[in-house]
Amino acid sequence: MSLNESVNRIVIGSGVIFAGTISGLLLNILIKGVLTRNLSQTDFGTYSLALTVISLTGAIATLGLHEGVPRYIAYFRGKKEDHKIQEIVVSGLLMGLVAGVVAMFLSPIVFERAAAGMFDTQENIASIIRIMIFAIPLTIFLNIAIAIYRGFDRTNVNMYFYDVIRPVSLWAFVSIAVLAGVSLHTFVLADLLSMVFTFGLMVVYFIKHPPFKPELKIRFSEPTKQLVKYSFPLLISATLLNLMTWTDTIMLGYFKSSQVVGIYSAVYPLVSFLTIIITSMGFVYIPVASRIWGEGRRDILESLYQIVTKWCFVLSFPIFVLMFVYPEAILTRLYGPDYAMGATVLRILALGFITNAYFGFNYHTIMAVGDSGFLMKCSTASAVINVVLNFMLIPQHGMIGAAAASAVSFASIELLMTMRAWRTHRMHPFTMAYRKFTVICVSLVAVMMVLKFVLPAASMLLVYGMFAMVYLAVCQYSGVIDDDDRTIARQVRTNVWRTIGVFVPGTLRNV
């Protein structure tokens, strides 16, 4: 696979994922708005804590297969060993479903024994978990089924189910819950029914549109052993990364009140917009990069790593500036004035999460070359940093301390992975143009902060509009974006609009 072909695949695929992710995030924020306006901060915090427990359980029970399955499907496609793909698919689905059923029965027991007396709303959390456990095996099947399609470059399937069907159905069921009568358990039941509905549609879709020609053979040989050996470190890595995301929520619930958790849980999802570009491109990058690695083309992989990292940061930086400079305005307009106290939290989290876009596709590249063992070690180190910092900072500083712990731990893992990619494979994203662009971006943030305090009466939209024009001029004339990049930009724009106009309306038709 050539470099141009690889970039085109990522551009086309990421256009689909980007449009879907944007719609999914907007719908999730809409749902959060409904919840925060119809539940007390204590009830919303209780729901967030229960959801954290279920999400953590589901992440563990997935066994890392959601990353291992697409990597090996793409890898064997690159090596022209299609006969091994059938086994990867079947073994992945069976292992995931068995683990999901086991987790469904164990999670409430483990929670009640491990978390006895930890939270001020312990009984409510436990009752919610007993309802939501039924979603665990359904979620795992959904994750692995999407991973299978991902290995075959069918990126639109993720958009159908996770970015459209799941949030739309959740919004519909939540709206019905509001009409039926507002209560915490009614919203929880709406969440479960949404997952059941999404699972049912996925089963129908998998039968009607299988990603490959299935054979009625079940065998567990060398490909399955490779999958397990590769996926187990990813299980540990993913679990620890999720713990880094959820530890602050759990420890806030332990040291502080559910009200504080409610505010923090409303603020935290907003920084997902900083990862939307890398998530969209990374979803396609891993199978493409794995296929290139299977073909033995390290030089193409290095160039691909540099190109997509630069674009990831170029597109993510304006979102960061908005969150870092105007957090109070964002929170007030989204959730109301009661949530404006989370402004410092949003600013700190934005600073930590932008490192994900800046250092780029280090994680994805390391995964593509098969170095999952290092990812496990790296995640372990960052998780330890996260837990230690949370213990040190939350008791005294509350949600600001939790945000600082998350920001530092996520930045540390990005540094470790970038160093590994360089030391082991001599790959890094820091071209001369990228280093120059870094200096310009830091200067722009400093100017925006000064303008905010010098011109406090100025409209946020006016100042941000001025920034946008300057930023476009910088990208155009500083040499950061060359002619090849402009061609890529046109392709991205074309594919995003095509996705919005074709794929989204066709979702229900395809299902």
Would you give per-residue pLDDT tens digits along the chain (511 residues)?
Answer: 566 666 667 766 666 677 777 777 777 777 777 777 777 777 777 777 788 778 778 878 887 787 788 887 877 777 777 777 777 888 888 888 888 888 888 877 777 666 555 565 667 777 888 888 888 888 888 888 888 888 887 877 877 888 788 888 888 888 888 887 767 788 888 888 988 999 999 999 988 888 777 665 666 667 777 777 777 777 777 777 767 777 787 788 778 777 788 788 888 888 888 888 888 788 778 888 887 877 777 788 888 888 889 988 998 999 999 999 989 888 888 887 888 888 899 999 999 999 999 998 998 888 888 777 888 888 888 888 888 998 999 888 888 999 999 899 889 889 999 999 898 888 888 888 888 889 999 999 999 888 888 876 567 788 888 889 999 888 888 777 777 667 666 665 665 566 555 544 444 444 4
Residue 504 pLDDT: 47
Residue 401 pLDDT: 92
Integer Cα distance of 107 and 130 in angstroms: 9
Query: Is 469 inside any structural domain?
Result: no
Residue 317 pLDDT: 94
Helix axes 298-325, 432-454, angle to 10 degrees: 0
Integer Cα distance of 180 and 469 in angstroms: 48
Taking the CA atoms of residue 284, residue 290, residue 293 and residue 294 in that order, the dihedral angle to the nearest 10 degrees is: -130
H-state helical runs in 426-459? 432-454
* DSSP code string of 56-115: HHHHHHTTTHHHHHHHHHHHHHHTT-GGGHHHHHHHHHHHHHHHHHHHHHHHHHHHHHHS
Whole-angstrom Cα Rg for the chain:
22
| 183's tokens | 């209560």
Integer Cα distance of 74 and 295 in angstroms: 11
Residue 355 pLDDT: 93
Query: Is 476 inside any structural domain?
Result: no
Integer Cα distance of 482 and 492 in angstroms: 15
Query: Is 444 inside any structural domain?
Result: no
Query: Is 144 inside any structural domain?
Result: yes
The whole domain housing 185 covers 3-430+481-510
Query: Is 358 inside any structural domain?
Result: yes
Integer Cα distance of 425 and 292 in angstroms: 14
SS3 content of the chain, % helix, strand, coil (to 5): 85, 0, 15
Taking the CA atoms of residue 275, residue 276, residue 281 and residue 285 in that order, the dihedral angle to the nearest 10 degrees is: 50
Whole-model pTM: value is 0.70
Integer Cα distance of 498 and 17 in angstroms: 12
Residue 22 pLDDT: 76
Domain total for the chain? 1
Query: Is 467 inside any structural domain?
Result: no
Integer Cα distance of 235 and 240 in angstroms: 8
Taking the CA atoms of residue 310, residue 315, residue 319 and residue 322 in that order, the dihedral angle to the nearest 10 degrees is: 90
Query: Is 69 inside any structural domain?
Result: yes
Alpha-carbon 107 to chain mean position: 23
Integer Cα distance of 305 and 310 in angstroms: 9
Query: Is 379 inside any structural domain?
Result: yes
